[in-house]
Structure 1
Amino acid sequence: MPDAVPLIDLDLAPPHDPAGPAPLRRLPVPGRATRVVGVLAAALLTMAAASPPAPALVRVLSAGGTAAAAFTLGHGALYTATFGQNPDSEAGIRRYDLPSGAQVWATAVPQNVQSLSLEPQSGVLLARSGSDPRMVFLDAADGAVLWHLAEAGTSAVRLTGGKVLLRTDEAPDRMELKLADARTGTPLWTRTLDGYSELRDDAVGAGPPRRLVVIGYDGHVTTLDLADGRVLGTGDLGVRLHAEYNSDTDLDYTSVDVSGEELYLSRREGGRVSLAAYRLPALSPKWLVRGGELGTVYGCGRILCMSDGHRLNGIDPDDGSLLWTNPAWSSAGLTPDGRLVAATWADDPETAEIDPASGAVLRPLAHTFFVGDIELRGDTKLAGRTWVSVTGNDGAPHTVGGLDTTAPYGCEADGPYLACPTIAGPTGVWRLPLT
């Protein structure tokens, strides 16, 4: 993800789950690629420059006696949320300093918490539930409650740059977008739009977004400046979009995706397949390819990736031509140092580094995922063991230790620290041997 808070996938039409992060969702795609794309995005988003390895991994903290409902790493700190006793009970939020592991503060909040998001610029920690409309904004330094929301139909779309973007769905078909100060909740701008719509932004990799793209189910597209809410451009795709999609029964199909400066429309209507690219913000046509493949389109460095849950396709961003297709992979993600990593669809997906130009495997990775400049590799023979490697000056990975965690994902990295859930329950934090 990682970050800015990469809240980028809603799977249902409005009204949205008011307690979840109203991510900037792709309109429905066939198959189950979204989940693996999300796993890859979270795993690959923060990969940094290589650092030489030192001898070993050192555990510095085992936080709490049970599994955390949510956790996140900040600069020199771990934040955790405990499970409530029932859906209406309090949850406990705690901060532990690193490397000492000392608990600095504990704060009770009046709802279960299943998501913690830290915004470093403002020093704000956002606590949200998966089933409750309430959300609480805390001071990350001392745990004080800064402000809270309990408004039905309202969700936090993005927390970044000292600000939070809020979405409120209003009957019958209206949506209010509001950008507020993350520490005070003071509105910076508000805009109301008619019709059911979904949101995208122009963020690529770990970069902060500058623009917000509002895609109506009537095909109308509005691009807003995220800083002040002004309209940068509008256009119409000339097609009504599916509010919901069933790949087993629906013959027609539409997917709209944004990557950087461009919007992509993948479509099948009356048996005719097409892929079109438009330049933002005016939605001016760039190219149109008839025939070919369908799926969700997203940036993969110098190529575009297209996933439909059954195969991975490489697309030339200059003209939309198909470079390669590979049914062995269901999705891919780009590391910040330029490597393209593909994954199979599975509950425990396997990965490989692939060549963007041809799709050929450059390096099999088995059950390996990347978090920061760290490789986490699940042991295929010893259940519950994940091996940790860092990249040395020679460009090769060097194993520095093992973790007692069940899968090589679900971890976070920040600076010299790695945090992961463990088999025993408590969240573990390890200091990486980086110099």
Structure 2
Amino acid sequence: MTMIDLGEVALDPAPPAVPVNVPRVRRAVLAGLALLGSLVLTGAAPPAPPTVRTLWTTPLDNGESVSLSGDTAFLNRMTDRGGAEVAAYDLATGRLRWAAPTGETLAGFTPLVTANRVLVATEVVNLAETRPEQSRYIMYARATIALDATTGAERWRVAGDFNTGMDDSTGLVTEYDDAGQLIRLLLVRLSDGHELWSRPLTGLASWSTIYQDDQPTGIVTVTASGELRIYGYDDGKLRRSARVPWDPERSELFTAGPYLALRHSRANRASTTLYRPGDLRALWHTDDELGYVTGCDRLLCTIDGGGVAGRDPQTGQEVWRHPGMQGLRALGPGRLLLDDGRGGPDGTHQVVEAGSGRPVGEPGVGTPMWNRSKGSILVMQRSEAPVGRYAVRRLDVSTGARTLLGTIAPLGDAGCLGTERYLACTNYGTLTVTAVG
């Protein structure tokens, strides 16, 4: 379910920014001389194909979306006949591999690709809820369709919304009533949609999935009266329960890796308490305005007005801090990308070691493409030469090194996804796929 809170806004970091590393003039000159010498020695050798080059385009309007997986782009779009479909395109050639109908109207969710299944929301409900304290916009799906990623054949469908915790073979489905209230959780097998367990729920104020080493291990729920319960992910059985302070209008429940965080807002300030799921014992408490708590390697990372900090999970004591940073993203084992919260081509960022906070490489500027592959991500920034284009670089997350791949045309309203070899950008109703080496 997607929920947009139109009332009080909590700190929610913008997507991290991107690195910059302009090649030195001397290196460029030497490279040019080396190339000239090579041409002289080998005769009229044909030039190598450009590393960055546009491959194909296709229409993609507002509300339509795209996911990338391996060598395929999956488009969730409207058809000429007015219905909705998912279409699979070969990233290298733009060839349509298959198209499968998914309903009478566009779902509004991006296809989720996992375990050779394309999970597509359908029968979407939009609700507007207005209260004296705040207004909320709620969107959820009444059903999910699983398509074979290779052929587009429908493999199974299930009642509920499939956009929550999962591992390599299973995933959670949430079912809602007509008022947008969660009434049931179930775990299904991705290969065939078989229901592994189902649990009815009532009176929930919030819930979340607990992770250990990036794998789901449990589910935590809290009711409007403050009854907190933890269920096993594999079997849905109740593990433990406790009562916690809870105000439905001012309290928030987070999961930060294997830990639980309860945040209570009040009159221009907030307090946060960390709990251990094993026995629901409170570990530490702070009255600092923490807008975000998340697991980061063996520490917990928090964001407040003074920056991003890595904390000891047991005590809350700061291990490291980067002032001025307002966002973070895990890049893989032992690596984080911190950003200043501005986002876009002018935002700054820094790769750091998760455990020590030590900078890895130089800080950068620009926008990251988050489809990580083989230890690197693609990043884009405004090009200094030629002016008016965007430079595409590959960021090595282990060393912080950045390699210039080439430039692309101005992006306009574009949003982009990247894989190891492709960049897919939406721009004024068009999806453009670019090879990046």
TM-score normalised by structure 1 residue count:
0.72
Aligned ranges for residues 389-428 of structure 1 at < 5 Å? 389-391=394-396, 396-404=401-409, 406=411, 410-414=415-419, 416-423=420-427, 425-428=429-432
Task: Please state how far the C-alpha of 1:217 moved relative to its aligned partner.
Answer: 3.2
Amino acid at match of 2:73: L
- Assess if the C-alpha contact under 8 Å between 2:379 and 2:392 holds in 1: yes
- Assess if the C-alpha contact under 8 Å between 2:16 and 2:367 holds in 1: no
Amino acid at match of 2:168: G
**How many angstroms apart in 1 are the aligned matches of 2:397 and 2:157?**
45
- Cα distance, 1:264–1:55 mapped onto 2, change above 3 Å: farther
Task: Please state how far the C-alpha of 1:298 moved relative to its aligned partner.
Answer: 1.0
- Cα distance, 1:360–1:397 mapped onto 2, change above 3 Å: closer
Aligned ranges for residues 139-158 of structure 1 at < 5 Å? 139-148=148-157, 154-158=160-164
Residue 101 (str. 1) matches residue 100 (str. 2): no
- Cα distance, 1:376–1:93 mapped onto 2, change above 3 Å: same
Task: Please state how far the C-alpha of 1:140 moved relative to its aligned partner.
Answer: 1.7
Residue 120 (str. 1) matches residue 114 (str. 2): yes
**How many angstroms apart in 1 are the aligned matches of 2:225 and 2:80?**
43
- Assess if the C-alpha contact under 8 Å between 1:389 and 1:398 holds in 2: yes
Aligned ranges for residues 145-294 of structure 1 at < 5 Å? 145-148=154-157, 154-158=160-164, 160-170=167-177, 175-182=183-190, 184-203=192-211, 207-237=214-244, 239-243=245-249, 245=250, 254-267=251-264, 274-285=271-282, 287-294=283-290
Task: Please state how far the C-alpha of 1:218 moved relative to its aligned partner.
Answer: 2.5
Gaps of 5+ in 2: 20-47, 127-140
**How many angstroms apart in 2 are the aligned matches of 1:208 and 1:122?**
19
**How many angstroms apart in 2 are the aligned matches of 1:171 and 1:95?**
33
**How many angstroms apart in 2 are the aligned matches of 1:427 and 1:203?**
34
Aligned counterpart, 1:298: 294
- Cα distance, 1:118–1:292 mapped onto 2, change above 3 Å: closer
- Assess if the C-alpha contact under 8 Å between 2:85 and 2:102 holds in 1: yes
C-alpha root-mean-square deviation of aligned residues, in Å? 4.0
Amino acid at match of 1:117: P
- Assess if the C-alpha contact under 8 Å between 1:421 and 1:427 holds in 2: yes
**How many angstroms apart in 2 are the aligned matches of 1:188 and 1:139?**
20
Task: Please state how far the C-alpha of 1:367 moved relative to its aligned partner.
Answer: 1.4
Query: Larger Rg: 1 or 2?
Result: 2
**How many angstroms apart in 2 are the aligned matches of 1:306 and 1:255?**
15
Kindly, what percent of the aligned residue pairs are identical?
Answer: 21
The equivalent position to 2:12 in structure 1, one of 33, 58, 82, is 33
TM-score normalised by structure 2 residue count:
0.72
Per-residue CA shift, 1:249-300, capped at 9, x if unaligned? Answer: xxxxx33321222112334568986443211143123x22354343221123
Corresponding residue SS for 2:110: strand
Corresponding residue SS for 2:332: coil
More RCO (CA 8 Å, sep 6+): 1
- Cα distance, 1:341–1:409 mapped onto 2, change above 3 Å: farther
Amino acid at match of 2:88: R
Task: Please state how far the C-alpha of 1:424 moved relative to its aligned partner.
Answer: 6.1
Per-residue CA shift, 1:132-169, capped at 9, x if unaligned? Answer: 645433222222233445x6xx4223355343422123
**How many angstroms apart in 2 are the aligned matches of 1:81 and 1:272?**
41
- Cα distance, 1:290–1:71 mapped onto 2, change above 3 Å: closer
**How many angstroms apart in 1 are the aligned matches of 2:209 and 2:424?**
29
- Cα distance, 1:228–1:147 mapped onto 2, change above 3 Å: same
Task: Please state how far the C-alpha of 1:208 moved relative to its aligned partner.
Answer: 3.3
Task: Please state how far the C-alpha of 1:174 moved relative to its aligned partner.
Answer: 6.3
Kindly indicate which of the two structures has a greater share of residues assigned to strand. 2
Amino acid at match of 1:335: L
**How many angstroms apart in 2 are the aligned matches of 1:240 and 1:112?**
37
Task: Please state how far the C-alpha of 1:90 moved relative to its aligned partner.
Answer: 0.7
Per-residue CA shift, 1:370-409, capped at 9, x if unaligned? Answer: 5321231220664562423254998621111223363898
Residue 330 (str. 1) matches residue 326 (str. 2): yes
